Amino acid sequence: MRATIVHESRGRVRLRLEQKTMSLRQADLLEGWLRGQPWTVEAAVHERTRCVILRYRGDRAQVLSAVGRFTWREAEGSVSLPDHSSRALNRAFEEKLVGKVMWKAAYTLFLPAPLRAARVLWHMIPFLRRGLGCLRRRAVKVELLDALSIGISVLRRDFGTAGTVMFLLELGELLEEWTRKKSVADLAECMSLHVDRVWLRTEAGEILTPIGQIRPGDRVVIRAGGVIPVDGVVVDGEASVNQASLTGEPIPAAKRPGGAVYAGTVVEEGQCVLEVRQASGQSRYDQIVSMIERSEQMKSAAEAKASSLADRLVPYTFAGSLLSLLLTRSVPRALSVLMVDFSCALKLAMPLAVLSAMREAGREHITVKGGKFLEAVARADTIVFDKTGTLTHACPQVAQVVPFGGRDEVEMLRLAACLEEHFPHSMANAVVAEAKRRGLTHEEYHSKVEYLVAHGIASSVNGERVRIGSAHFIFEDTGCRIPEGEQARFDALPPEYSQLYLAIGDQLAAVLCISDPLREEARPVLAALRELGLRRAVMLTGDSRRTAAAVAAQLGVDEFRAGVLPADKAAYVADLRAEGHTVLMVGDGINDSPALSEADAGIAISDGAAIAREIADITIAADSLWELVRLRRLSMALMDRIQANYRFVIGFNGALIALGAAGLLPPAASAMLHNLSTLGVSLHSMRPLPSGGALEQPAPPGPVK
């Protein structure tokens, strides 16, 4: 790609592509490719000016070289774009908005008065039809107020006022539709899949393949805990599939050969091989949009309250207009009152405020699936953390492999990595990473892998049963024993590490000691959350009580629970809610999924298990827990803005009604001020929310050569 550097500063560059035009698809491709690069901090592509604004980290020469090697063909093969582009949506509505304003200016300036009057008469028909519909349903709603104000203005031969009112109403409807569709598109994007690679079944075995290379007809293997990234049909195996993200139904559905599965659902138990019907899961966008439009579950209580209040206030506006007419015998005064309603501002500004907060959260690498969850974060008084991968670093390391029964250390690590590579959890990732660091290949030589939630993994190798997992799973559930004469060696295992136990047959074969250091920011983050009103912090873990007590003391949590199973975590969260607490649950693993679902808002770590991200209401990046503090401040700022909007809309429109009734505002001025106030509060709602100041000192950018 050929481009010219227009402007440059430390860690930031503005480029202009040396091509005559840029299509919307090219802009999406380039932006998607840039955002997928490891050195990209933020990227924006403007198709009209062919400009790219890139913030990056690392070596300048390396970044510019990579951008220079970019080709559209490479991007087409590596970037998966949704069928519905937000860029195209914005362009379509921008053109509609500009066209409507230009047409209004044109007929106002150039059409003679008789033709303008005829146009108003023709144009008022849809408004009158909607008003008559309200009368037939015996409903006093905003549509009836609009029809009355337009009809009375026409009867008074005030075609200018009628035309202006209709133009402003259509402008408001267009902005409202744009806002709604953009909200749905952003929400669908938040819920979109972020699956990079899948296990493709071929004649040579299973191959880890980029999702962009999967085509209809391919066969993909999905195991327990994995998200299904494509629409397809099961051709082998049986699985229990959680379809809550699409259907809202919490009970998993059994899928057998011949059963259809859909992108975005998650395999909870078992495994299956599916034949791809719809590559890249693109059809999921339409499924999500349909779900959102059918259900109000994502709407915050504040948005619902605003909509309800707007409808309840309409009869009072109507009654005020009639009262003004009876008391003053002045039609203009009655019209001035009729021109003002609370509905537009309340129904438009609140969703815009929520959308703005969701978009701002996205810039902070926080994905929020609906306004109700931001409200829950703002109201929360209790936060519950999983330990491993959440309060500790997301990538623990294998510190030591202790073999038992005369086994070979290297072979035990190889076997453990072979089993663990199918289940993306932090401890599993640690085992696979250690094998890779030692240069160990671990081709699959086991039979079907079974994942037992909160316990471990079981399979067969050379006719022997192999298990890896917790002490509870190995020693209590399956009755494995320590080889004779090695109890003292077992008792001498380092107490500062978490242990992962590997058993072959009915004997312990190895213990993998996992170093799981705490996140450096965990303690100050908890302190900052307390300053923001969270009164209780709890840690839940499946580790031993000794390990949990040591971690809890370092963190300063209010309480902890050790040795808990997934059902225990979910039950604990449910008990807190039953006591009247608003609870946030933060986790990253398959084990945390029930608790994430049970909480008022479940928060998942982005590099955790797919099922946790899918079930969670909010996802934060794995880089830093400070994002929890940003999320809390953002949510509180959103609620403050919503309350401020309430006060402004009620106060300003109430003042307009009073001035109109007093005869100080003519109908046209009343309509103009009302619509301008609606536009103003909407634009204010779209402004960035107060950041609340710096939360931490960011790391200095890398050197630029």
Give bridge partners of residue 464 from the DSSP assignment. 461
pLDDT at 54 over 90: yes
What stretch of H or E contains 601?
strand 601-605
Its pTM stands at: 0.63
Nearest of 379, 360, 384 to residue 630 by alpha carbon: 360
Instruction: Out of 19-28, 281-290, 383-392, pick the least confident.
Output: 281-290
Give bridge partners of residue 222 from the DSSP assignment. 272
Please tell me which of 86-90, 127-131, 182-186, 326-330 the model is most confident about, judged by mean pLDDT.
127-131
Q: Which two tokens stand for residue 196?
A: 């990079």
pLDDT computed for residue 547 by the predictor:
74
Q: Does domain 197-291 have CATH number 2.70.150.10?
A: yes
pLDDT at 462 over 90: no
Q: Please tell me the distance from the alpha carbon of residue 415 to that of residue 192, in angstroms, as a whole number.
A: 34
**Domain spanning 3-79: which CATH class is it, in words?**
alpha beta
Q: Please tell me the distance from the alpha carbon of residue 191 to that of residue 208, in angstroms, as a whole number.
A: 24
Contact 195, 702 (CB under 8 A): no
pLDDT in tens, 584-615: 999 876 677 788 888 888 898 876 666 666 67
Contacts of 196 (CB under 8 A, 6+ apart): 210, 211
Residue-range domain boundaries for the chain: 3-79, 90-188+298-353+638-685, 197-291, 366-393+518-622, 397-515
Q: How many CA atoms lie within 13 A of 287 on its CB side?
A: 20
pLDDT in tens, 102-116: 988 888 888 888 888
Scanning the structure block, which residue is given the tokens 């200016």?
105
pLDDT at 34 over 70: yes
Burial-class residue 327 by CB neighbours within 10 Å (0-12, 13-18, 19+): exposed
Of 3.40.50.720, 2.40.50.140, 3.40.50.1000, 3.30.360.10, the CATH number of 366-393+518-622 is: 3.40.50.1000
Confidence class for position 296, pLDDT limits 50, 70, 90:
very low
Handedness of CA 280, 281, 286, 292 (dihedral sign): negative
Rg, C-alpha atoms of the chain = 30
Q: Which of the two residues, 190 and 227, has the higher pLDDT score?
A: 227
Q: Can you state the angle between helices 86-110 and 159-190, rounded to 10 degrees?
A: 170
pLDDT computed for residue 486 by the predictor:
92
Q: Please tell me the distance from the alpha carbon of residue 252 to that of residue 224, in angstroms, as a whole number.
A: 12
Q: Give SS3 for 162.
A: helix
Q: Which of the two residues, 661 and 297, has the higher pLDDT score?
A: 661
Nearest of 374, 367, 43 to residue 192 by alpha carbon: 367
Percentage of the chain exceeding pLDDT 90:
16
Give bridge partners of residue 507 from the DSSP assignment. 481, 504
Confidence class for position 697, pLDDT limits 50, 70, 90:
very low
Phi, psi of 424 (to 5 degrees): -75, 85
pLDDT computed for residue 582 by the predictor:
93
Can you tell me the mean pLDDT for 202-220? 82
Contact 240, 269 (CB under 8 A): yes
CATH topology of domain 397-515: Calcium-transporting ATPase, cytoplasmic domain N (3.40.1110)
Look up residue 387 and give its DSSP letter.
Answer: I
Percentage of the chain exceeding pLDDT 70:
80
Q: Please tell me the distance from the alpha carbon of residue 183 to that of residue 689, in angstroms, as a whole number.
A: 17
Please tell me which of 80-94, 308-322, 513-527 the model is most confident about, judged by mean pLDDT.
513-527
Q: Which two tokens stand for residue 365?
A: 């690498």
Q: Please tell me the distance from the alpha carbon of residue 324 to that of residue 293, in angstroms, as a whole number.
A: 40
pLDDT at 674 over 70: yes
pLDDT computed for residue 494 by the predictor:
79
pLDDT in tens, 246-282: 554 556 788 889 988 887 778 877 889 999 886 554 5
How many other C-beta atoms lie within 10 A of the C-beta of residue 563? 16
Q: How many CA atoms lie within 13 A of 139 on its CB side?
A: 11
pLDDT computed for residue 492 by the predictor:
87
How many other C-beta atoms lie within 10 A of the C-beta of residue 647? 9
Can you tell me the mean pLDDT for 626-638? 91
In single-letter form, the type of residue at position 591 comes to N
Report the C-alpha dihedral over residues 672, 675, 677, 683, rounded to 10 degrees.
Answer: -130
Please tell me which of 72-81, 221-230, 457-466, 628-637 the model is most confident about, judged by mean pLDDT.
628-637
Confidence class for position 665, pLDDT limits 50, 70, 90:
confident
Q: Please tell me the distance from the alpha carbon of residue 133 to that of residue 24, in angstroms, as a whole number.
A: 41
Task: Please report the beta strands in 181-317, taking only residues with DSSP state E, as ranges in sequence order.
Answer: 197-202, 205-210, 219-223, 231-242, 253-255, 260-261, 266-278
pLDDT computed for residue 194 by the predictor:
58
pLDDT in tens, 530-543: 999 999 999 988 77
pLDDT at 703 over 50: no
Can you tell me the mean pLDDT for 313-323? 72
In single-letter form, the type of residue at position 589 comes to G
Report how far Cα 405 is from the mean position of its chain's Cα atoms: 48
